[in-house]
Amino acid sequence: MDKVNEAIEVNEQETPFHLLPQEEQQRIIDANQKRVREAPTLHEWDIRVSTPLAWIIIIITSIFSILFLGGGGLLLTAGEDWSVVYIMLGVTAVMIPYFRYLVMADKNYKYRLTTEGLIVTYQDAIPEIAYTVVRGLAWLGVLVCIMAVAILGPLSLVGAGGMALFAIFFTDFKKEEHIEYTLFNKNKTNVIKVVNNAAFVQFETIPFGYSGFANFYCYKNELKEILASLLPILNCREYREFKTILSLNRAPHSSLNVGVPRRLD
C-alpha cells in the first residue's frame, strides 16, 4: 500500500490538496511517485529490522495469562484441579511462536534513496514454508468443520460455522509487499534526526506534515555515507543526534531545536 500523503507537493496547488477532486489528487500522487522512481539512485540497500520489544511483550503477556487464568482455575478448585494450568501452558506454547513469527514478525526492508526522494519496500520476514503450513492448517480446519456438520447435523453449525469462517480467512494467507514513496521538499526547511547506535534516520519538513516525512534504517558502516548524500539534498548543514529511537520519537515536530546538533567530520 502506498503512503499517499507522503508523495505530494502541496505548495504546487493554490487549493489545499485535501480539497481537490479525487482524480486530481491521484494524478498528483502518480506524478510525484514517478518523479521519485525515475530519479538517479544514490544509495540502495536491503536490511532486516527486528520488531522492538517483541519478546518482552510476548513473555510478559504469556506469564500474566498463565498466572491469571491458570491461577484462577486453581483457586476455583481449591488447588485440586490443575487441568486449566496445563491447558494454558499448552495454549501458550502454541501462541508464543504464532505471535512472534507471524503477528509480530521482523520486517525485511528494501530502501532506494534517489535525488528526488525515498522509496521503501517492505514485507514481513516470514519464511514461505510458514505461509504454506498456515494455509494447510486452515484447509484442514475447513474440512473438520464440514465433517462435523455431516456427522453431528445442523446444530454443530453453532460452533463449527464460526470456526469455518475463521479458517477460510487463512486459506489465502500469503506474503504481502508494501511500497511507500516520499518526495523531498527541497524548497522548504528540513530537519534530519539520527540515532547512531541504531543506524536510524528520520527526516521531516518544517512545518511538520505528512509530505516530506519518512524514516529508515541502514547499516552502521554506511550511515555517514548516506548522510553525506542526504544533507545537501535537503539543504541541511547539520543533523540532530539522539541517543535512542524512543527519545527521538518523543521530540517535538516542527522544531530545529531538538537533539544534539552534529556535523559530518
Average pLDDT, the chain: 82
Nearest CA to 206 out of 263, 257, 144 is that of 257
Average pLDDT over residues 99-103: 79
**Total Cβ atoms within 10 A of residue 29:** 20
On the question of pLDDT at 213 being above 60, the answer is yes
Each residue's pLDDT tens digit, 224-248: 999 999 999 999 999 999 999 999 9
Average pLDDT over residues 14-36: 86
d(CA 158, CA 21): 47
pLDDT at 165: 54
Give the start-to-end residue ranges of the domains of the chain: 4-38+184-250, 54-103, 127-169
Q: How are strands ordered across the β-sheet holding 107-114?
A: 41-49, 107-114, 117-124, 178-183
pLDDT at 25: 87
Q: Is 235 left (phi over 0), alpha (psi -120 to 50) or beta?
A: left
Q: Which residues pair with 195 in a beta bridge?
A: 200, 242
Q: In the numeric block, which cell numbers belong to residue 140?
A: 484442514
| Cα 6 to chain centroid, rounded | 16
Is 202:248 a contact under the CB 8 Å cutoff? yes
Is 226:43 a contact under the CB 8 Å cutoff? yes
The residue with greater pLDDT, 25 or 210, is 25
Lowest mean pLDDT segment, chosen from 97-101, 129-133, 169-173: 169-173
Per DSSP bridges, beta strands 189-195 and 239-242 are parallel
d(CA 74, CA 71): 5
The structure's pTM equals 0.74
Is 218:111 a contact under the CB 8 Å cutoff? yes
Is 218:226 a contact under the CB 8 Å cutoff? yes
Q: In the numeric block, which cell numbers belong to residue 92?
A: 501458550
Each residue's pLDDT tens digit, 39-90: 999 999 999 999 888 889 989 988 887 787 767 766 777 767 677 677 777 7
Strand (E) or helix (H) holding 107: strand 107-114
Q: Which residues pair with 200 in a beta bridge?
A: 195, 217
On the question of pLDDT at 102 being above 50, the answer is yes
**Total Cβ atoms within 10 A of residue 65:** 14
Each residue's pLDDT tens digit, 144-200: 666 666 665 655 455 555 555 555 556 566 678 999 999 999 989 999 999 999 999
Nearest CA to 216 out of 6, 42, 45 is that of 45
Q: In the numeric block, which cell numbers belong to residue 141?
A: 480446519
